Amino acid sequence: MPKRQESTSESLGEKLNDALGRPVPASARGVIDAADDGDLFFALTPAQLGPAIAALQGLGASHVMLVGFGFGKAGKRLAVEEVMAIPNGPLARLRVELPAGDPTYPSITKLVPAAQWDEREAHDLHGIVPAGHPDPRPLVVHDPAPPAAPFKPFVAHGDGVYQLPVGPIHAGIIEPGHFRFSAVGESVLYLDARLFYTHRGLEHLVEGRTFAEALPIVERACGVCTVTHATAFSRAVERLTRTVPPPRARLARVLLAEMERLYNHVGDLGNICAGVGFNFGTSRLGWQKERLLRLNEALTGHRYLMGVVAPGGLRLDLDERGLVGLGAAVTEIEHEVRSIVRLLVRSDGFMNRLHGLGVLSRAEAMRLGVLGVAARASGLAGDLRRDRPADGYSDLQVAQIGASTGDVAARFHVRAQEAAVSAALIVDIAGRLPAGPMSVALAREARPGAVGLAGAEGPRGASWLWLMAGLNGRIDRLHLRSASFANWPAVASVVPGNLVPDFPLINKSFELCYACTDR
């Protein structure tokens, strides 16, 4: 990190100290760990957490994630760490170590609505109690052991109001989620979603493992964001070990990330067509997605790009033969997608279904901390590729795509335009990938207790990874905050006021993963 940022961090630290009204412990002032690469770190008491967050919000900072974890002997002591991102500034980590025997801290959800699920998850998985949380129902563990109350969906009551339970077993082959609609006739009054049916405990599974052992597990949090998660993990490890991947790998990671975005966006555009039963778009775009998956296979040997990105660079070099024709093939597919989208946009019957549906206002998107396509379709500009460029993105211009209406049509258009941007990046990079090694060895061992924090902009938005190093180059704690996790509450929030049969379409316009939400 450049020197300038360090000094900014220092001054921000001072500002935060002033805002808190009293000095925080000297050890917690500003940057305390050089390995954290410029992140701000504060050790706070439970009572200081709220004011510190408010002070950071005053600087324009936004919520990234809240991590609950155990530490000390056998993880007996508990702590929470709220991570916030200061625009054009560093990341801030506010850690609260909770007293032994009383793992309670004042909930921050009223201050940071985007943290609502984070806090509920920390409670379910670690037993950390956010006192005063407006919705303390279980989230991850559906039927906790007594005396905790089991999950009960929120429903509306009144004359003619009925409940419509959908899932977790669906008529089609889709991931499991339970949706409880309260509806009058065909109008939805309220929607409560219950996820985490595919919770596998990945974060617990990697504890005590080496980085190399953990990578395939983290990568498989879900099947369609593999590059995103592997990249976030690798960057976190690289920050911990002060490793800089070689130029070829840095640019190749961009290539892979954009391939992932492109095939997801093309497939998701097709899925929006499926939401209105428009078979033309579904099948044509489905075929283009298949062509992209085959390019992935030619490039890396894996259709979904698993096992390629690794700490230090890439685990294997890209296939030369796959790389040669890549630019031309992607250009052709992009033209094809563009002409299909043009036909779709010209179909009144199709576009009529999309306009004005599932509107996510800018204010609501900001309040809930919505990310990715959904945020950009609602007038927010966030994109990690431009806001916090890492790897090859530092030297690239990524065009900003956006829309303001926040409806299904806006998300459709944003996806279509982003697909074109991704294709252009791929064509550009495929032609000028520098020669050289694909990976370097990790520069040093991670200091036990240090935290590596890294994000990657995936097809559904920014996924963040929080990685605490343990002894002997092993992982102590890990938390993966996927973009889908951050966006799910927004889906439930935009549905009321729409019609019951329009829900699948609204859902598909967000197209969130369940698996990487549930982990």
Partner 1 sequence: MIPSAAVTTVLLAALQLIVFVLFAPFLTATIRLTKARLQSRRGPGLLQPYRDLAKWWGKLPLESNASGPVARYAPPVVLGAILTAALLVPEATSRAPLLGWGDLLVVVGLFATARFVLALSALDAGGAFGGMGSSRDVAISALAEPGLVLALAGAALAAGSSDLGIISAFGIKQGIGLLGPAHLLAAAAFAIVIVAETGHHPVDNPDTHLELTMIHEGMLIEASGRSLATLVFASELKLVVLAAVFSAAFFPFGGATEIAPGPIALGLLLGLGKMLIVGQGLALLDASIAKARIMTLPDLLGLASLLAIAGLGIQVLLP
Dihedral (CA of 434, 436, 438, 443) sign: negative
Does residue 294 belong to the site contacting partner 1 (CB under 8 A)?
A: no
Interacting residue with partner 1 among 170, 200, 294, 321 (CB under 8 A): 170
Plot region of 106 (φ>0 → left; ψ -120 to 50 → alpha; else → beta) = beta
Does residue 163 belong to the site contacting partner 1 (CB under 8 A)?
A: yes
Least CB distance to partner 1 at residue 513 (A): 18
Q: Which is nearer to partner 1, 183 or 249 (CB)?
A: 183
What three-state secondary structure class fits 119?
helix
Does residue 339 belong to the site contacting partner 1 (CB under 8 A)?
A: no
Q: Which is nearer to partner 1, 190 or 278 (CB)?
A: 278
Q: With CB under 8 A as the contact rule, which of the stretches 79-87, 95-103, 207-215, 345-353 interacts with partner 1?
A: 345-353
Q: What is the largest CA-CA distance in the chain?
A: 70
Task: State how far Cα 26 lies from the chain centre.
Answer: 33
Does residue 504 belong to the site contacting partner 1 (CB under 8 A)?
A: yes
Q: Which is nearer to partner 1, 32 or 184 (CB)?
A: 184
Least CB distance to partner 1 at residue 150 (A): 21
Does residue 161 belong to the site contacting partner 1 (CB under 8 A)?
A: no
Does residue 497 belong to the site contacting partner 1 (CB under 8 A)?
A: no
Least CB distance to partner 1 at residue 349 (A): 5
Q: Which of 195, 365, 377, 226 is nearest to 304 (CA)?
A: 226
- Contact status, residue 514 vs residue 281, Cβ threshold 8 Å: no
Least CB distance to partner 1 at residue 333 (A): 15
- Contact status, residue 100 vs residue 77, Cβ threshold 8 Å: yes
Does residue 279 belong to the site contacting partner 1 (CB under 8 A)?
A: yes
Residues touching partner 1, count (CB under 8 A): 34
- Contact status, residue 87 vs residue 61, Cβ threshold 8 Å: yes
Q: Are strands 129-131 and 104-106 parallel, antiparallel or unpaired?
A: parallel
Q: With CB under 8 A as the contact rule, which of the stretches 107-115, 167-175, 308-316, 369-377 interacts with partner 1?
A: 167-175
SS (H, E, C) 2-38: CHHHHHHHHHHHHHHHHHHCCCCCHHHCCCCCHHHCC
Q: Which is nearer to partner 1, 207 or 511 (CB)?
A: 511
Does residue 229 belong to the site contacting partner 1 (CB under 8 A)?
A: no
Residue with tokens 């779709």: 344
Please, which residues have CB within 8 angstroms of residue 270's CB and are 6 or more apart in sequence?
281, 282, 283, 284, 285, 286, 288, 289
Q: Which is nearer to partner 1, 431 or 501 (CB)?
A: 501
Q: With CB under 8 A as the contact rule, which of the stretches 18-26, 171-179, 238-246, 432-440 interacts with partner 1?
A: 171-179
Residues in contact with partner 1, shown as a per-residue x/- string from 59 to 98 under the rule CB under 8 A? ----------------------------------------
| Amino acid identity, position 447 | R
Does residue 352 belong to the site contacting partner 1 (CB under 8 A)?
A: yes
Does residue 287 belong to the site contacting partner 1 (CB under 8 A)?
A: yes
Please, which residues have CB within 8 angstroms of residue 88's CB and are 6 or more apart in sequence?
none
Does residue 190 belong to the site contacting partner 1 (CB under 8 A)?
A: no
Does residue 413 belong to the site contacting partner 1 (CB under 8 A)?
A: no
Q: Cα–Cα distance between 518 and 201 in angstroms, integer?
A: 9
- Contact status, residue 200 vs residue 224, Cβ threshold 8 Å: no
SS (H, E, C) 218-256: HHCCCCCCHHHHHHHHHHHHHHHHCCCCCHHHHHHHHHH
Does residue 512 belong to the site contacting partner 1 (CB under 8 A)?
A: no
Does residue 151 belong to the site contacting partner 1 (CB under 8 A)?
A: no
| Amino acid identity, position 211 | F
Interacting residue with partner 1 among 172, 346, 432, 435 (CB under 8 A): 172
* Cross-strand bridge partners of residue 467: 452, 478
Least CB distance to partner 1 at residue 343 (A): 11
Residues in contact with partner 1, shown as a per-residue x/- string from 463 to 482 under the rule CB under 8 A? --------------------
Q: Is the previous residue joined to 168 through a cis bond, with omega within 30 degrees of 0? A: yes
- Contact status, residue 279 vs residue 272, Cβ threshold 8 Å: no
Does residue 165 belong to the site contacting partner 1 (CB under 8 A)?
A: yes
Q: Which is nearer to partner 1, 32 or 166 (CB)?
A: 166
Least CB distance to partner 1 at residue 356 (A): 10
Q: Which of 392, 388, 390, 478 is nearest to 433 (CA)?
A: 392
Interacting residue with partner 1 among 284, 289, 413, 460 (CB under 8 A): 284
Least CB distance to partner 1 at residue 500 (A): 5
Backbone phi, psi, residue 134, to 5° = -65, -20
Q: Which residues bind partner 1 (CB under 8 A)?
A: 162-166, 170-174, 186, 273-280, 282-284, 287, 347, 349-350, 352-353, 499-504
